[in-house]
Structure 1
């Protein structure tokens, strides 16, 4: 039964009536597991998606009834302030249900539709999100940079525009904590700091038209002065399990540093597709201070060079294609060992290796000895069954993120070989059917207890669906 001590906001999530329509829909036509005709269901539901175990027969497109049933649970998630939960259910032919709902926990970062990352160190973020830019005090501006010529060109193209005053620009600098570069100041001395400062702003059509002209002139959807922001690492969040597999790499011939974010990236516009344009005050070894970079909305790390200066961008009125520089001789900091990429751990091992991902594998399990002692290895992920001896992980003392299958975690725990420096961890069941999510939760709570972290909440709910027509 549900625990009456739960906070009121969790009551709808832990009510049988919330889950009953979904369980009945999924149980209808499900395949019994051979235990007196009992059906076992398992799955996960999050605010962004859901998934069910293989016992649920595929039905093609999701029905309206199933969508409505899922939305009932998602509404309860939202009311409880929970991103996602996993669940498992045992349903008898007569309709008796024993449902276990697992979650939430402040020590679990929810993933899409279930599986979450165990947060073993309060407030920790992956290494790339801690990386600051290398200083570039001697980086010169591009030859094309010319604040005076830029302001003159903008006034010619935007006649009658009333730009921001010195006080408005100073206020923006105080808010951002950085001095705006001369070209950006020149831009906003012509373009109003606030859109309602345009002449005729009391007439919406004229205001909108003026903004369109400004966007076309600059070559992007220009932000108002009040909307400028610093694209530091915190402005570009990513789930731990993805962020831990990224690496900051800046080759010697790179114009842009391969960072997550920088205190020197001042965002001033959008390309209309969600990618942000920024003035770069912390360029790479081959870059120019004040160059214009594009931060893609589909990536967590890095930026592409699109103009050598703001003057260059406005002269062309269209960003050129992003370009990046890579050193051909550089061995990758992130290595994937699987059937489609590297075919051995030896091929991945080198002193600069930071991330090792062992994926789908069709040969004998791999030996981790070649990566033991590597100075920068901080992330290891491995699909179930791919490691010859998981206990070798105990020798990888620099790991901050570890993702393994349930059996590998069990071996590691029993051997007392879990690296104590971990900041986060994951349990992957890729390719392994999970009949009962209670088992991964038991394992998760055992790992959390090692680090003194709060456990995942588990609630048992009983109910009656009435006779169910199993397959």
Structure 2
């Protein structure tokens, strides 16, 4: 146990330590009894899962998919750190499907060391808070046994906990709902006719992602006091002034129906990712003054205008040449202007035939 804790860099919470002193997981060979609804790992396996590749960070799927990624807050708020993984999350049970239960030894300010969280493959948007301790988790399972809320087959018992469902934190649909739940953290507004009024979203003080898809707004004022980190918007005859000095905005995808001044982007302290390929934006040299920009997407005309007058920000890690008709030659010429060596580019041609 002492060696395991040394390797983990954390002392186990007292209840989990006591449990391991009684038994080394619930496995008999490769067959687990699923004490926690998941396979309770042996101490050796727990150390391996908690310190192995990917345990301390969320998987990275590349700039094309991840440039606007966010992490949701758990419920209750501020109990679990808003990150995809952490070395203080000690995975003690496995769903054997890429999901885990973990004791959280590095909680957020409203959390408690030793609280139990769910993390892993199905929690890419953020971990879930389950209980304040392993003792509480075991107590819940004992209550289900007392209530007869289980089914026994062979040597296994499957418990049936009530499912109140998590509080709504994401909405995908048409118009913004008349009653916006205060727990909402992401909203995707799709295909709305006419201009979208964003003012109802002020009822969601935890909103972190706002996407307007195939619809537009003329007023970004409601976003000013919301902790929005990822914004995708079509702006109709409006301006970006309400975003002045926004302290949270990290990624912005802008489409506009009229020329839009982007000087306000200089005032965004956390802006890291930007897609202006669908916008009419004069003054592109202002992009060179964005000190933290990591990702930039422009169309060919915009890139030419920008590179004729300025150098790319030195912090830029990834760039995209947007547009439906970009050829390989176009892409190579553009990459060369960015200072990328294209001499070793491989061209492959051929015919794809379906197998009979």
TM-score range, shorter chain: 0.5 to 0.7
Aligned residues: CA RMSD: 3.5
Distance 1:248 1:461 in 2: 39
Q: Specify the alignment match of 1:382 in structure 2.
A: 276
Match of 2:333 among 437, 442, 445: 442
TM-superposition CA deviations, 1:22-55 (whole Å, max 9, x none): xxxxxxxxxxxxxxxxxxxxxxxxxxxxxxxxxx
Distance 2:237 2:3 in 1: 53
Q: Specify the alignment match of 1:183 in structure 2.
A: 15
Give 1 or 2: higher helix fraction: 1
CA distance 1:272–1:349, shift in 2 (3 Å):
farther
- Find the residue that maps to 1:458 and give its secondary structure: coil
CA distance 1:419–1:275, shift in 2 (3 Å):
same
In the alignment, structure 1 segments of 5+ residues that lack a partner are: 1-168, 202-206, 466-471
- Find the residue that maps to 1:277 and give its secondary structure: strand
- Find the residue that maps to 2:126 and give its secondary structure: coil
Distance 2:162 2:106 in 1: 20
Query: Contact 1:258–1:301 (CA<8 Å) still a contact in 2?
Result: no
TM-superposition CA deviations, 1:306-337 (whole Å, max 9, x none): 11111111222359755687782762242424
CA distance 1:239–1:358, shift in 2 (3 Å):
same
Distance 1:295 1:187 in 2: 21
Distance 2:162 2:343 in 1: 48
- Find the residue that maps to 1:218 and give its secondary structure: coil
Q: CA deviation at 1:447?
A: 1.7
> After superposition, where does 1:312-461 map in structure 2 within 5 Å?
312-317=136-141, 328=205, 331-339=226-234, 344-359=239-254, 361=255, 363-422=257-316, 424-430=317-323, 432-434=324-326, 436-449=327-340, 454-455=341-342, 457-460=344-347
CA distance 1:322–1:172, shift in 2 (3 Å):
farther
CA distance 1:193–1:222, shift in 2 (3 Å):
closer
Match of 2:6 among 174, 199, 202: 174
Query: Contact 1:365–1:386 (CA<8 Å) still a contact in 2?
Result: yes
The TM-score with structure 2 as length reference comes to 0.64
Distance 1:391 1:224 in 2: 57
Query: Contact 1:248–1:258 (CA<8 Å) still a contact in 2?
Result: yes
> Are 1:219 and 2:37 counterparts?
yes
Q: Specify the alignment match of 2:68 in structure 1.
A: 245
- Find the residue that maps to 1:185 and give its secondary structure: helix
Q: Specify the alignment match of 1:236 in structure 2.
A: 59
Distance 1:232 1:456 in 2: 38
- Find the residue that maps to 2:346 and give its secondary structure: strand
Distance 2:227 2:246 in 1: 10
Q: Specify the alignment match of 2:112 in structure 1.
A: 288
Q: CA deviation at 1:250?
A: 6.5
Q: CA deviation at 1:291?
A: 0.6
TM-superposition CA deviations, 1:96-119 (whole Å, max 9, x none): xxxxxxxxxxxxxxxxxxxxxxxx
CA distance 1:456–1:309, shift in 2 (3 Å):
farther
CA distance 1:263–1:301, shift in 2 (3 Å):
farther
Structure with higher Rg: it is 1
TM-superposition CA deviations, 1:61-118 (whole Å, max 9, x none): xxxxxxxxxxxxxxxxxxxxxxxxxxxxxxxxxxxxxxxxxxxxxxxxxxxxxxxxxx
- Find the residue that maps to 2:135 and give its secondary structure: helix
The TM-score with structure 1 as length reference comes to 0.50
Q: CA deviation at 1:305?
A: 0.4
Query: Contact 1:337–1:343 (CA<8 Å) still a contact in 2?
Result: no
Distance 2:319 2:36 in 1: 45
Match of 2:91 among 247, 259, 267: 267
CA distance 1:242–1:462, shift in 2 (3 Å):
closer
